[in-house]
């Protein structure tokens, strides 16, 4: 069953001089529960824009987007934060952890934003921190963690609260090859075990080794 | 619930210190300026507040209690028979020169009554017996005179307008707006000291109303009987004395300007540090939005940070102001901070800090969560 379906998505931006620039030209993609998909493409191919639309951060100019059975209405942008909060977990290239919060608090805060509070939030945060193998580092601030450990905290944050979709933007870009491979393997294993659809936008060829499917995007279109 | 606002604020301790220092500076400035102002105002009318008189008769257009002018002392006879008046007495308040043992000359503001006890004046006697004032060339001197006259003790002599007067008692807290030391002398003795101006004259008449007397009716009758004088209730006279100093010295304007500048500095410091902090955390706020947080979630973070800065800054500023009180007291300056005023300053601090945060509110409202994908 697909948790994410994008059909014929287009996106155009208006530049400073009023010229319209088309970034996506009918991109389509489906992601099933428990599936790991790698989205590859050269710089300027539109993959970040596509990821932003799939993550309900941007609305498409046209096309259809269904998230976990719910069609996203581009005319109601005020609904997007709710969809993001309940359905999507994010992993960013720069980790984007809150530097003042410990590893477990970073996860707990994301749960608080999703509406999970108190003891339930703490327990779930500790569970996912343990799942990424950082129980012994859960009280550490991000500055005291290595790059790989930071990305594992970011993965724990994305998985916390059980979103059916996890979107990752270049998750290995700031990690060395060995650590990157370890993080990817762990990420894949968790996504499979917890039955989440995982879409990884990447340049990194290592991602191919853990992906069920590789999708290429070029000039705003998904290549066959 | 993870308190991101507090943790972010305390994460950069130096910035937090700068923020609360700005708030504390403004709070201390406001407390000290207004506290000193209230202290001076208190001095300007402290004798009026403590004298047990309901009505004051003054010469026409007397501006304040320290700047007394004379009128015939016999006017008091006209007023003792007014229905509703329990008692009426003359009071002399007069500036006199004092020669000090060092050869220097100073001034004293003499308060002279025939019966000090009856008018509960002075209200804080630390040494001596007021009844002895009638028995010779004696005076009571307030302790605040030490700063101007040097140390003194009962038994010492001072020359007042060329007359050798023995200090037989000491009082506390009897202060004048101009900080001229107050002394207490028998009414007739005061007239002897300055015969040219004071013989047969007084400067005020004090009236005490009988219990249940109709104040308005008594006031009207007193005004009828001394038509060339002014008659004031205690509250009116105290207020007139205070206002004189506020208006004639520019003290009020100075106080308002300093308070305004203090608040402005505090506002700018808080606004600037909160805004800089917001700009530095812009990616974090973008992340909050990306993971599903709303502008409201971020406003709450900024508002909480502003509130914490206000509370900590207020506490620090208040502490500084209270620590300054004994220092001020040593130079005879009173710092009066009524609880109601402290509450107003706290509310003002909170409002100003939240207002400072509004600038950051505008910034975060425009944050594009897509910035989290811009590596």
Q: Does the beta-carbon distance from B291 to A55 stay under 8 Å?
A: no
Is A87 an 8 Å CB contact of chain B?
Answer: no
- Which percentage of chain B shows pLDDT scores above 90? 60
* CB contact at 8 A, A46 and A74: no
B288, pLDDT greater than 80: yes
Quote the CA–CA distance of B285 and B278 in Å, as a whole number: 8
Residue B7 with chain A: CB contacts under 8 Å: 98, 100-101, 105
B375, pLDDT greater than 60: no
Quote the CA–CA distance of B13 and B20 in Å, as a whole number: 10
B294, pLDDT greater than 90: no
Residue A156 with chain B: CB contacts under 8 Å: none
Q: What pLDDT, on a 0 to 100 scale, did the predictor assign at position B168?
A: 96
Q: What pLDDT, on a 0 to 100 scale, did the predictor assign at position B374?
A: 64
Residue A100 with chain B: CB contacts under 8 Å: 4, 7-8, 10-11
Which residues 6+ apart lie within 8 Å of B271 measured at CB?
B355, B356, B357, B359
B338, pLDDT greater than 60: yes
A76 burial via Cβ count (<10 Å: 0-12, 13-18, 19+): exposed
* CB contact at 8 A, A27 and A55: no
* CB contact at 8 A, A141 and A102: yes
- If we measure between CA atoms, which residue out of A66, A67, A82 comes closest to residue B292? A82
Task: Output the DSSP codes for B316-364.
Answer: HHHHHHHHHHHHHHHTT------HHHHHHHHHHHHHHHHHHHHHHHHHH
Q: What pLDDT, on a 0 to 100 scale, did the predictor assign at position B165?
A: 95
Find the mean pLDDT for residues B40-46.
88
Task: Output the DSSP codes for B241-293.
Answer: HHHHHHHHHSHHHHHHHHHHHHHHHHHHHHHHHHHHHHHHTHHHHHHHHHTT-
B318, pLDDT greater than 70: yes
What is the interface pTM, i.e. ipTM, of the complex?
Answer: 0.88
Quote the CA–CA distance of B80 and B75 in Å, as a whole number: 9
Beta pairing class for A197-202 and A213-218: unpaired
pLDDT tens-digit readout, B326-336: 998 888 788 99
Averaged over successive runs of 10 residues, the pLDDT of chain A (224 residues) comes to: 90 82 90 93 87 91 92 85 91 90 96 92 94 92 94 92 91 85 88 90 89 90 78
Quote the CA–CA distance of A50 and A57 in Å, as a whole number: 10
Give the chain A residue nearest B6 (alpha carbons). Answer: A100
B163 burial via Cβ count (<10 Å: 0-12, 13-18, 19+): middle
How high does pLDDT run on average in chain B? 90
Nearest to A93 among B286, B290, B375 (CB): B375
Is A90 an 8 Å CB contact of chain B?
Answer: yes
Q: What pLDDT, on a 0 to 100 scale, did the predictor assign at position B119?
A: 96
**What does the angle CA B53 – CA B54 – CA B60 come to, to the nearest 5 degrees?**
90
* CB contact at 8 A, B133 and B140: yes
Quote the CA–CA distance of A223 and B296 in Å, as a whole number: 40
pLDDT tens-digit readout, B60-97: 999 999 999 999 999 999 999 999 999 999 999 999 99
| Inter-chain contacts counted by CB atoms under 8 A, chains A and B | 83
* CB contact at 8 A, A31 and A165: yes
Structure tokens given for B119: 């008018």
Q: What pLDDT, on a 0 to 100 scale, did the predictor assign at position A190?
A: 87
Q: What pLDDT, on a 0 to 100 scale, did the predictor assign at position A224?
A: 58
Both ends of chain B: CA-CA distance in Å? 29
CA–chain centroid gap for B223, Å, is: 31
- Which percentage of chain B shows pLDDT scores above 70? 99
Beta pairing class for B157-160 and B182-186: unpaired
- If we measure between CA atoms, which residue out of A183, A115, A110 comes closest to residue A151? A183
Q: Does the beta-carbon distance from A96 to B283 stay under 8 Å?
A: yes
Structure tokens given for B174: 């009897």
Nearest to B8 among A48, A92, A100 (CB): A100
Element (H, E) at B298: helix B295-330
Q: Does the beta-carbon distance from B291 to A58 stay under 8 Å?
A: no
Find the mean pLDDT for residues B163-192.
93
Quote the CA–CA distance of A168 and A199 in Å, as a whole number: 6
* SS3 assignment for chain A: CEEEEEEEEEEEEECCCCCEEEEEEEEEEEEECCCEEEEECCCCCCHHHHHHHHCCCCCCCEEEEEECCEECCCCCHHHHHHHHHHHEEEECCCCCCCCCCCHHHHHHHHHHHCCCCHHHHHHHHHHHHHHCCCHHHCCCCHHHCCHHHHHHHHHHHHHCCCCCEEEEECCCCCCCHHHHHHHHHHHHHHHHHCCCEEEEEECCCCHHHHCCEEEEEECCEEEC
Q: What pLDDT, on a 0 to 100 scale, did the predictor assign at position B41?
A: 85
B355, pLDDT greater than 90: no
Quote the CA–CA distance of A193 and A180 in Å, as a whole number: 20
Q: Does the beta-carbon distance from A92 to B372 stay under 8 Å?
A: yes
Using only the alpha carbons of chain A, give its radius of gyration.
17
A119 burial via Cβ count (<10 Å: 0-12, 13-18, 19+): exposed
Backbone angles phi, psi at B276, to 5 degrees: -60, -45
| Chain A residues 105-124 with a CB less than 8 Å from chain B | 105, 108-110, 112-114, 117-118, 121
Structure tokens given for A132: 């990424």
Q: What pLDDT, on a 0 to 100 scale, did the predictor assign at position A145?
A: 95
Structure tokens given for B211: 């219990």
Instruction: Tell me whether the omega of the peptide bond preceding residue B122 falls within 30 degrees of 0, making it cis.
Output: yes
Q: What pLDDT, on a 0 to 100 scale, did the predictor assign at position B279?
A: 82
B354, pLDDT greater than 60: yes
A82-95 core/surface letters (b: 16 or more CB in 10 A; e: else)? ebbbbbbbbbbbbb
Q: What pLDDT, on a 0 to 100 scale, did the predictor assign at position B111?
A: 97
pLDDT interval class at B275 (50, 70, 90): confident
**A153-157, B109-113, B115-119, B287-291, range with the lowest pLDDT:** B287-291
pLDDT tens-digit readout, B1-27: 899 999 988 998 998 898 888 889 888
Which pTM was predicted? Answer: 0.78
Q: What pLDDT, on a 0 to 100 scale, did the predictor assign at position A54?
A: 93
Task: Output the DSSP codes for B171-235.
Answer: ESS---TT-PPEEEEEHHHHHHHSHHHHTTEESEEEEEEPTT--HHHHHHHHHHHSTTEEEEEHH
Top-confidence residue, B299 or B249? B299
Structure tokens given for B231: 């008659």
Which residues 6+ apart lie within 8 Å of A146 measured at CB?
A179
């Amino acid at each position: 069953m697909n948790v994410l379906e994008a059909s014929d998505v287009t996106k155009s931006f208006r530049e400073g001089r009023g010229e319209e620039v088309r970034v996506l030209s009918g991109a389509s993609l489906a992601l099933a529960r428990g599936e790991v998909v790698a989205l590859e493409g050269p710089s300027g191919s539109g993959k970040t824009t596509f990821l932003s639309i799939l993550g309900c951060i941007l609305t498409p100019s046209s096309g259809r987007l269904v998230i976990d059975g719910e069609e996203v209405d581009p005319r109601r942008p005020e609904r997007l934060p709710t969809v993001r909060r309940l359905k999507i977990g994010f992993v960013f290239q720069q980790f984007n952890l809150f530097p003042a919060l410990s590893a477990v608090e970073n996860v707990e805060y994301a749960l608080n934003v999703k509406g999970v509070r108190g003891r339930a939030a703490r327990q779930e945060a500790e569970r996912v921190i343990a799942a990424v193998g950082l129980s012994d580092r859960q009280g550490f601030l991000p500055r005291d963690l290595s790059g790989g450990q930071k990305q594992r905290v970011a993965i724990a944050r994305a998985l916390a609260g059980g979103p059916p979709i996890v979107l990752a933007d270049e998750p290995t870009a700031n990690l060395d090859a060995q650590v990157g491979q370890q993080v990817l393997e762990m990420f894949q294993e968790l996504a499979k075990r917890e039955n989440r659809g995982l879409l990884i936008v990447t340049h990194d060829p290592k991602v191919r080794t853990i992906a069920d499917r590789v999708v290429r995007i070029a000039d705003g279109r998904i290549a066959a | 619930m993870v308190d991101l606002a507090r943790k972010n604020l305390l994460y950069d301790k130096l910035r937090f210190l700068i923020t609360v220092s700005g708030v504390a500076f403004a709070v201390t400035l406001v407390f000290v300026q207004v506290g000193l102002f209230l202290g001076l105002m208190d001095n300007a009318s402290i004798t009026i507040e403590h004298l047990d008189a309901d009505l004051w008769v003054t010469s026409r257009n007397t501006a304040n209690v320290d700047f007394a002018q004379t009128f015939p002392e016999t006017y008091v006879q006209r007023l003792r028979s007014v229905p509703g008046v329990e008692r009426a007495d003359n009071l002399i308040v007069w500036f006199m020169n004092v020669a000090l043992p060092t050869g220097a000359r100073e001034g004293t503001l003499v308060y002279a009554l025939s019966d000090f006890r009856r008018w509960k004046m002075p209200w804080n006697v630390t040494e001596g017996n007021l009844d002895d004032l009638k028995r010779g060339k004696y005076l009571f001197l307030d302790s605040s005179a030490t700063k101007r006259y040097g140390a003194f003790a009962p038994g010492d002599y001072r020359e007042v307008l060329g007359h050798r007067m023995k200090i037989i008692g000491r009082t506390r807290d009897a202060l004048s707006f101009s900080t001229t030391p107050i002394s207490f002398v028998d009414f007739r003795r005061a007239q002897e000291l300055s015969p040219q101006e004071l013989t047969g004259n007084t400067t005020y008449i004090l009236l005490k109303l009988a219990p249940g007397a109709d104040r308005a009716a008594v006031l009207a009758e007193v005004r009828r009987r001394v038509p060339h004088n002014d008659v004031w209730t205690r509250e009116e006279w105290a207020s007139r004395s205070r206002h004189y100093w506020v208006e004639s010295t520019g003290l009020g304007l100075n106080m308002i300007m300093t308070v305004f500048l203090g608040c402005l500095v505090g506002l700018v410091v808080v606004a600037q540090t909160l805004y800089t902090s917001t700009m530095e955390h812009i990616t974090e706020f973008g992340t909050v939005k990306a993971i599903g947080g709303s502008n409201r979630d971020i406003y709450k973070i900024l508002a909480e940070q502003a509130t914490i800065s206000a509370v900590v800054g207020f506490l620090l500023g208040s502490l500084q102001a209270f620590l300054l009180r004994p220092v001020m007291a040593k130079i005879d300056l009173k710092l009066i901070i009524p609880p109601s005023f402290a509450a107003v300053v706290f509310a003002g601090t909170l409002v100003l800090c939240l207002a400072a945060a509004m600038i950051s509110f505008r910034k975060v409202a425009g944050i594009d969560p897509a910035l989290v994908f811009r590596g």
